[in-house]
A and B are shown apart, each in its own frame.
Chain A
Amino acid sequence: MLEVTDLNARYGRAQILNGVSLSLGENEVVALLGRNGAGKSTTIKSIMGLVQQTEGHVTYDGQEILGKPSHVICRTGLGYVPEDRRVFGDLTVEENLEVGRRAPRPDAPEWTLDHLYELFPNLRERRRNLGKQLSGGEQQMLSIARTLMGNPKLVLLDEPSEGIAPVIVEQMAQVIAELKREGLSVLLSEQNLHFARAVSDRAYIIEKGAMRYEGSFADLDAKPEVSNAYLAV
């Protein structure tokens, strides 16, 4: 349902992505692996329309979305969870969720506040607190919950396990499993191979802005030279 072909992206004069291609099927969880600075976030931002200089093709359900403004891309059914969470610090948890709220879509599950609070019980307790008062893990949950309020069909999840406590990483894994159960697709950017393996169906590896590997985790395990070359294991 998401098809990226020959994507190039640049910031200023620096070329960051060189012909990245990937695809994501209905109800699939796919990991995008790579080291620091490999281009994972840039790939995800380009798909979401947040990089100003891009070339190539990104189609969603057969429609070209590259070059569209990000709010239009969001409304086609893509949800974006940024790597640095970007919670609105001066808004309460509930107000943060309000910003993400959108009308339900016929083709995607509908998320209510209650349902999200079940998935993230901490947020219910802290719903009157300001975003900036939350811990890193809670902010990550809030960021995901905020995106889910838009009832997306596909979620772009940028490094959800980065810089949070192991217990919460565990919780993240369950959340991703829940998303898949609900019928969503997830493109997950990760450096943590164990976490990615636990939640994803298959993997891509990106390095220096180009795709180096595509396949199952079993195949990847059979080729230690690949993970040694492109991942920090």
Chain B
Amino acid sequence: MGFYFAQLLTGLANASSLFLIASGLSIIFGVTRIVNFAHGSFYMVGAYLTYTLVTMWSGSVLGFWGGVILAAAAVGLLGLVIELTILRRIYKAPELFQLVATFGVVLIVQDVTLAIWGAEDLLGPRAPGLDRAVRIMGEPIPEYDLALIAIGPAVLLAIWLLFHRTRWGVLVRAATQDREMVGALGVNQAWLFSAAFVLGAFLAGLGGALQIPREAVSLQMDLSIIGEAFVVVVIGGMGSVSGAFVAAVLISVLNAFAILVFPQISIVLPFVVMAVVLIVRPYGLFGKPGSEHGAPEEPDQPLTLMSQRSAMVLATAVALLALSPAVAADFTMILLVDVMVATLFAVSLHFMMGIGGMVSFGHAAYFGVGAYGAAMAVKFFDFGMLPAMVFGPVCAATAAIFFGWFCVRLSGVYLAMLTLAAAQILWGVTFQWQDFTGGDDGILGVWPAKWASSDQVYFYVAFVLCIGGIWFLRRAAHSPFGYTLRGIRDSQTRAEAIGINTNLHQWMGFALAGGFAGLAGVVFAFSKGSVFPDSLGIAQSIDGLIMVLLGGIHALAGPIFGAVAFVMIEDWVTRLDYWRFIFGAIILIVVLLAPDGIAGGVRRLLRAVKGGAA
């Protein structure tokens, strides 16, 4: 009995930490509609700053709590700077831009943190006065956990008072429902947004600061918390602080008991709960659809078809590519295979987003399932290369059919979150299911068949599959099916009115995109000879989004240029120190200066130069 009670208390202490970071994320989303990936970075910076301050003022109670508050306030200030310099320019941009921009911030913050605090994990001091354990029902409970259990509800109460007893709070709640109307009533939204962002960053910083006595401070803190924080926000209902509290308690307590039965479950559990909640209540437990008024008007741009010139450039490039093995060195061959894999992956993601209008934050799921499907077929069923290359995409398409069925019922950010959840669930299963997937060690020895084992021959295998896949998706985009999908993207209501089964079409589009992402994964697996859980990870999904964004989402050829540019930049940048910083900066520059992709940016630059010369 005592043991279960202790487990409950641990769950509640975890819930408090999770609530702090999730509440800030929820407030930011509610007011600004930005899905802030950088929220985990605020959490991490809060922890590092607290480490420095608390070790400096070590020992005293005032030093500890003063350090915590000061660090959180500094993170709030950091939030202000980021809001003013970056986010303020992209409030009207589609979700994709916001997500990628905040991910750029994640990369930059990571390298700045690395430069300041180094790569070693840092172990902070315990909280003075709360560094022992008390016995409750015979079980030892850390005093600090009890303090955390009190802090969570106290912060909830403080936020409640702020939101219900101050004019600012009333404005924030109003803006969460209908920000355009708040503007029409004379409120300068810009400052409201900044303030909400500062509050959110402060809370994330506080969450990180309070972790100091519980866990080592590390550079992995940001991305390890962000997934769970998203889950809590989505379950609670985006924009609802009390929802975040309930969801944090639900997840943490469930987790505390579930690991007793099934220790591996903790990575997937939050995402499973989120998927279930989203299917039953699409806007979360306490969430509401929110006003469509003043939503970013998707620039109703037609998809730019390839101009004759760029079609010729592409055709030439493909021809050169086909001939390259005759002249190029082996390592170039390998790079070129990477380029083709990335291009097929990006084109399949673009098919889903640009043509199908479905934003996916978890496209890596299908890439990874394809790769693992093929690898496991080779490993366990002794498949040859070619059968495995069929089997992988079939697995990916099957996974896409399964998850797509749930996903196409939602739209916008909620759809994006469910795709992320799907990817995280698959990632968690792969990571945990040691016996079958090899867990963290991956599956090794996935080599091409003998006849295809030379780099040159495998290049042609990859060439046929990738270029063939890209060609097929192009054709699909131009088929009646593709036009129907675009019709649904532009107006779901209109499409329904003329009797189109929109869910069915989107579902098929989802499955098709998933299948071809899987094909990319298969080619990837055989070219590397191994697969690892990374291939289903958030970073891989985001890579795809960056490629699509680099190329410009409204151009049919966009993902092709985007993927090529991405692999080239990555190949060059990752050799440098602090490449994350450089890469993050490139992302921000593209998002802020060339929202229509590199091609669009260059075109405008040329026009400006010509205009200046004339």
Which A residues lie within 8 Å of B299 (CB)? 12
Which B residues lie within 8 Å of A89 (CB)? 177
User: Is B187 interfacial (CB-CB < 8 Å)?
Assistant: yes
User: Is A48 interfacial (CB-CB < 8 Å)?
Assistant: yes
Task: Check A86–B181 contact: CB distance below 8 A.
Answer: yes
Rounded to whole angstroms, the CA-CA distance of A99 and B175 in the bound complex is 10
Assess A70 versus B183: contact at CB under 8 Å? Given A50-B294, A95-B170. Answer: yes
Rounded to whole angstroms, the CA-CA distance of A214 and B291 in the bound complex is 35
Rounded to whole angstroms, the CA-CA distance of A48 and B297 in the bound complex is 17
Rounded to whole angstroms, the CA-CA distance of A224 and B186 in the bound complex is 41
User: Is A80 interfacial (CB-CB < 8 Å)?
Assistant: yes
B171, B174, B184, B298: the one within 8 Å of A70 (CB): B184
Which B residues lie within 8 Å of A70 (CB)? 180, 183-184
Rounded to whole angstroms, the CA-CA distance of A71 and B288 in the bound complex is 25
Mask of A114-153 contacts with B, CB within 8 angstroms, 1/0: 0000000000000000000000000000000011001000
Which B residues lie within 8 Å of A88 (CB)? 173-174, 177-178, 181
Rounded to whole angstroms, the CA-CA distance of A62 and B180 in the bound complex is 26
Which A residues lie within 8 Å of B181 (CB)? 82, 86, 88
Rounded to whole angstroms, the CA-CA distance of A147 and B186 in the bound complex is 10
Task: Check A13–B185 contact: CB distance below 8 A.
Answer: no
User: Is A23 interfacial (CB-CB < 8 Å)?
Assistant: no
Task: Check B182–A99 contact: CB distance below 8 A.
Answer: yes
B171, B180, B293, B300: the one within 8 Å of A99 (CB): B171
A49, A95, A99: the one within 8 Å of B185 (CB): A99
Task: Check B177–A71 contact: CB distance below 8 A.
Answer: no
Task: Check A74–B186 contact: CB distance below 8 A.
Answer: yes
Rounded to whole angstroms, the CA-CA distance of A224 and B414 in the bound complex is 52
Closest to A11 in B: B297
Task: Check A12–B300 contact: CB distance below 8 A.
Answer: yes
Closest to B181 in A: A86
Rounded to whole angstroms, the CA-CA distance of A69 and B294 in the bound complex is 12
User: Is A102 interfacial (CB-CB < 8 Å)?
Assistant: yes
Rounded to whole angstroms, the CA-CA distance of A96 and B298 in the bound complex is 30
Which B residues lie within 8 Å of A48 (CB)? 184
Rounded to whole angstroms, the CA-CA distance of A85 and B188 in the bound complex is 20
Task: Check A71–B174 contact: CB distance below 8 A.
Answer: no
Task: Check A71–B184 contact: CB distance below 8 A.
Answer: yes
Task: Check B297–A52 contact: CB distance below 8 A.
Answer: yes
Rounded to whole angstroms, the CA-CA distance of A80 and B189 in the bound complex is 17
8 Å CB interface, A38-94 against B: 48-50, 52, 69-71, 74-75, 80, 82, 86, 88-91
Mask of A7-38 contacts with B, CB within 8 angstroms, 1/0: 00001110000000000000000000000000
Which has the most chain B C-beta neighbours within 10 Å: A74, A86, A102, A146?
A86
Which has the most chain A C-beta neighbours within 10 Å: B183, B291, B294?
B183
Task: Check B187–A71 contact: CB distance below 8 A.
Answer: yes
Task: Check B297–A71 contact: CB distance below 8 A.
Answer: no
Task: Check B178–A12 contact: CB distance below 8 A.
Answer: no
Mask of A169-195 contacts with B, CB within 8 angstroms, 1/0: 000000000000000000000000000
Task: Enumerate chain B interface residues (CB-CB to A < 8 A).
Answer: 167, 170-171, 173-174, 177-178, 180-189, 288, 291, 293-294, 297-300
19 contacts between A and B (CB under 8 A): A12-B298, A12-B299, A12-B300, A13-B300, A50-B180, A50-B184, A69-B188, A74-B186, A80-B185, A88-B173, A88-B174, A88-B177, A90-B177, A91-B173, A95-B170, A98-B167, A99-B171, A99-B182, A101-B167
Task: Enumerate chain A interface residues (CB-CB to B < 8 A).
Answer: 11-13, 48-50, 52, 69-71, 74-75, 80, 82, 86, 88-91, 95-96, 98-102, 146-147, 150
